[in-house]
């Protein structure tokens, strides 16, 4: 499946997208500011409760810098700062990039669902239903390297904790690795 | 809007601020970091407001909201407020089975432990301020250069704590460094915009900006801010002390604006604030109402920037000018201060009165 990053502006609210995309480009693009259409192919594994075999698919994430710049005129400046400024705390780049990529996963695999809230003190990171006591959302993580093995470790750490939460009516895990470019999406509950 | 729609609107606003703050923080420069701390503080306040809209929320829901507030304040680098929020998390956790509370807190607990370690380090690195319980007036004059260095290091590490900015404001008053006072008061106000004393202090400083614009803030920007404050006060009445600050800033604008319609607009706003402010309660001091009651008739007299008016201000502010050494000794001849000089003299006086000097008994 091919997904154009600029489509995120149609599928999610502007405010969620505009601050995530610079991080996505700084994290996964070899030459983020090169003036042409570029892309990155992700291998994606998805699982759901009750379904034994995971599903495999590919997401060809492409982007047009011209189209992205039309939505965020400061995009290239922001990406350049993230890539080259000496003040930048690069530890946070995977975390913020994974937010943007999770928005991609939600837009592709849960069509019509829109993120409306973000949690910082507890899981999950993104919510698309904020009904107190019956939250629905997606927990997100990004790893710079390690591929599926690194993502598996994250899944094994996070899944049991999410399952113990009584206030989560539905929760997914969206995990991303930049090198090699792989991703997992797991439905933890219900 | 229904209550549910209001709730949704508040949490969505809060979530967007958190994402924006998370995206700004890693840039690492002073401006981005401070903006991130402000956004995290706003998100924390929105979480509090959202919770207040729920009818009889369960303890688990209240714990969830307290955790979010606490996380926002820790990430917003606010030592004092995050400690208070953490206490609330602990109190609510005690009302739930340990495994339920633990499942909610598995991300917050390490975050808070890290913040507490940072605080311990900060306190170790600021022995002079710590010994004075972070009260600038409690630092002996010979120790102040060292205390200033400690304060600069603190503000670099935790720019989200309004209390530290207030200490910087007190230090700036002692040094008569208006640029530092403006910056400290503005930052404290932006972190705690609902605090009436800080809002009044910021308006007093804004009056000085109107008379002495600089690279940090132009006169046009200060006028815009004043106009916005006017709208805000008309929509949402505030503590009486805020109106006093607004009167000062409006009169400063009146005096530095060439005579005409615009100057009269500022005078009208000052008059409106005197009348509206006196009807509002004040948590800070009952004296505020006496000042507000006296302000109205004085503003009525200000029909133009006449010599008589300047003479009145000259008389009132002479002492202040001498106190702050803005003009030469009065015995050299009649002082002929400009409106800008007068405004600066009053700003110093107002800042000294409005900037609190409280002890912070910080324990890591």
Residue B230 has pLDDT above 80, yes or no: yes
Report the alpha-carbon distance of residue A118 to residue B153 in Å, rounded.
Answer: 32
Residues facing A140 on adjacent strands:
A174
- What is the structure's pLDDT at B331? 43
Of B65, B63, B62, nearest to B45 by C-alpha is B65
Range of the domain at A98: 2-189
Task: Return the CA Rg of chain B.
Answer: 23
- What is the structure's pLDDT at A85? 81
Residue B329 has pLDDT above 50, yes or no: no
A115 interaction partners in chain B (CB closer than 8 Å) = 15
Could you say which DSSP state residue B161 is in?
A: -
- What is the structure's pLDDT at A51? 76
State the smallest CA–CA distance between residue B77 and chain A in angstroms: 14
User: Do A19 and B19 count as a contact with CB atoms less than 8 A apart?
Assistant: yes
Is the sign of the CA dihedral B88, B94, B97, B98 positive or negative? Answer: positive
A19 interaction partners in chain B (CB closer than 8 Å) = 19-20, 22-23
Suggest the residue from A98, A121, A160 to mutate for an interface test with chain B (most B CBs closer than 10 A). Answer: A121
Judge if the upstream peptide bond of residue B108 is cis by omega within 30 degrees of 0: no
Task: Read off the tokens for A5.
Answer: 């990053």
Are the beta carbons of A115 and A13 closer than 8 angstroms?
yes
Rounded mean pLDDT, A4-10 = 96
% chain B with pLDDT above 70: 87
pLDDT band of B342, cuts 50, 70, 90? confident
Residue B328 has pLDDT above 50, yes or no: no
Residue A44 has pLDDT above 90, yes or no: yes
Q: Domain tally for chain A?
A: 1
Which residues contact residue A183 at a Cβ distance below 8 angstroms, ignoring those fewer than 6 apart? A42, A43, A44, A45, A59, A101, A105, A151, A174, A175, A176, A177
Adjacency order of strands within the sheet including A55-63: A2-4, A55-63, A38-47, A182-189, A168-179, A135-145, A126-129, A117-118
Report the alpha-carbon distance of residue A40 to residue A20 in Å, rounded.
Answer: 16
Chain B positions touching chain A (beta carbons under 8 Å): 7-8, 11-12, 14-16, 18-20, 22-23, 25-29, 43, 54, 57-58, 60-61, 64, 67-72, 75, 99-100, 103-108, 111
Rounded mean pLDDT, A95-101 = 96
Ordered DSSP codes for B280-346: S--SS-THHHHHHHHHHHHHHH-SS--HHHHHHHHHHHHHHHHHHT-S--GGGS-----HHHHHHHH
B105 interaction partners in chain A (CB closer than 8 Å) = 122
Is the sign of the CA dihedral B295, B298, B302, B306 positive or negative? Answer: negative
Q: Which residue has the higher pLDDT, B335 or B120?
A: B120
Report the alpha-carbon distance of residue A60 to residue A43 in Å, rounded.
Answer: 9
A117 interaction partners in chain B (CB closer than 8 Å) = 11-12, 14-15
- What is the structure's pLDDT at B330? 42
Chain A positions touching chain B (beta carbons under 8 Å): 13, 15-16, 19-20, 22-23, 81-82, 85, 87-93, 95-96, 99, 115-123, 127, 130, 132-133, 161, 164-167
Task: Read off the tokens for A104.
Answer: 């991609």
Of B20, B357, B44, nearest to B194 by C-alpha is B44
Instruction: Find the residue in A nearest to B70 (Cα).
Output: A121
Are the beta carbons of B196 and B242 closer than 8 angstroms?
yes
**pLDDT tens-digit series, residues B65-84:** 999 999 999 999 998 899 99
Residue B206 has pLDDT above 90, yes or no: yes
Mean pLDDT, chain B, whole residue set: 87
Task: Read off the tokens for A114.
Answer: 């829109």
Residue A53 has pLDDT above 90, yes or no: no
User: Do B16 and A89 count as a contact with CB atoms less than 8 A apart?
Assistant: no
User: Do B15 and A89 count as a contact with CB atoms less than 8 A apart?
Assistant: no
Task: Read off the tokens for B289.
Answer: 């109402």
- What is the structure's pLDDT at B332? 44
Which residues contact residue B319 at a Cβ distance below 8 angstroms, ignoring those fewer than 6 apart? none
Alpha helices in A54-176 (DSSP H): 65-71, 75-84, 93-109, 147-163
Report the alpha-carbon distance of residue A22 to residue B200 in Å, rounded.
Answer: 38
Lowest-confidence pick of A40-44, B26-30, B196-200, B289-293:
B289-293
ipTM: 0.94
Q: Which helix (H) or strand (E) holds A64?
A: none
Q: Which helix (H) or strand (E) holds A145?
A: strand A135-145
State the smallest CA–CA distance between residue A16 and chain B in angstroms: 7
Residue A142 has pLDDT above 50, yes or no: yes
Residue B236, classed as helix, strand or coil, is: coil
Residue B217 has pLDDT above 70, yes or no: yes
Rounded mean pLDDT, B317-326 = 52
pTM beyond 0.80: yes
- What is the structure's pLDDT at A34? 58
B107 interaction partners in chain A (CB closer than 8 Å) = 121-123
Instruction: Find the residue in B nearest to A84 (Cα).
Output: B27
Q: Which residue has the higher pLDDT, A50 or A168?
A: A168
Are the beta carbons of A108 and A141 closer than 8 angstroms?
no
Residue B103 has pLDDT above 50, yes or no: yes
């Amino acid at each position: 499946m091919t997904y154009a990053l600029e489509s995120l502006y149609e599928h999610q609210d502007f405010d969620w997208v505009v601050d995530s995309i610079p991080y996505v480009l700084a994290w996964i693009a070899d030459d983020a500011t090169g003036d042409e259409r570029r892309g990155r192919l992700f291998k994606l594994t998805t699982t759901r409760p009750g379904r034994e075999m995971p599903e495999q698919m590919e997401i060809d994430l492409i982007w047009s810098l011209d189209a992205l710049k039309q939505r965020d005129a400061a995009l290239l400046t922001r990406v350049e700062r993230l890539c080259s400024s000496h003040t930048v705390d690069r530890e946070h780049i995977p975390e913020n990039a994974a937010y943007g990529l999770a928005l991609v996963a939600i837009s592709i695999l849960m069509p019509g669902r829109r993120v409306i809230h973000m949690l910082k003190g507890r899981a999950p990171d993104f919510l698309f239903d904020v009904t107190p006591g019956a939250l629905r959302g997606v927990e997100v993580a990004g790893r710079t390297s390690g591929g599926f093995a690194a993502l598996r470790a994250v899944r094994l750490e996070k899944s049991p904790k999410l399952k113990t939460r009584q206030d989560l009516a539905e929760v997914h895990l969206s995990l991303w690795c930049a090198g090699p470019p792989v991703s997992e999406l797991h439905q933890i509950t219900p | 809007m229904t209550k549910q729609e209001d709730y949704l609107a508040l949490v969505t606003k809060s979530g967007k601020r958190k994402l924006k703050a998370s995206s700004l923080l890693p840039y690492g420069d002073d401006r981005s970091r401070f903006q991130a701390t402000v956004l995290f503080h706003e998100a924390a306040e929105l979480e509090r407001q959202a919770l207040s809209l729920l009818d009889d929320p369960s303890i688990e829901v209240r714990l969830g909201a307290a955790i979010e507030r606490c996380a926002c304040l820790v990430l917003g680098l606010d030592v004092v407020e995050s400690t208070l929020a953490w206490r609330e998390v602990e109190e609510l956790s005690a009302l739930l089975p340990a495994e339920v509370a633990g499942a909610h807190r598995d991300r917050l607990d390490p975050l808070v432990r890290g913040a507490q370690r940072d605080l311990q380090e900060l306190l170790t690195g600021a022995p002079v301020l710590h010994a004075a319980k972070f009260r600038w007036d409690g630092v002996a004059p010979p120790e102040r250069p060292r205390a200033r260095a400690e304060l600069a290091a603190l503000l670099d590490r935790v720019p989200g704590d309004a209390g530290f900015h207030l200490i910087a404001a007190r230090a700036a008053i002692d040094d008569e460094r208006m640029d530092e006072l403006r910056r400290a008061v503005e930052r404290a106000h932006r972190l705690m915009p609902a605090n009436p004393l800080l809002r009044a202090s910021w308006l007093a400083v804004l009056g000085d900006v109107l008379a002495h614009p600089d690279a940090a803030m132009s006169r046009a920007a200060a006028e815009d801010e004043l106009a916005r404050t006017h709208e805000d006060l008309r929509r949402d009445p505030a503590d009486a002390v805020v109106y006093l600050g607004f009167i000062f800033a409006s009169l400063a604008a009146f005096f530095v604006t060439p005579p005409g319609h615009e100057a009269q607009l500022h005078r009208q706003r000052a008059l409106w604030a005197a009348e509206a402010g006196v009807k509002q309660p004040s948590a800070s001091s009952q004296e505020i109402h006496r000042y507000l009651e006296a302000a109205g008739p004085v503003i009525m007299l200000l029909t133009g920037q006449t010599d008589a008016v300047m003479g009145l201000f000259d008389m009132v502010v002479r002492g202040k000018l001498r106190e702050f050494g803005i003009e030469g000794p009065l015995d050299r001849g009649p002082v002929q201060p400009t409106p800008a000089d007068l405004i600066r003299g009053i700003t110093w006086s107002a800042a000294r009165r409005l900037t609190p000097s409280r002890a912070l008994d910080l324990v890591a």
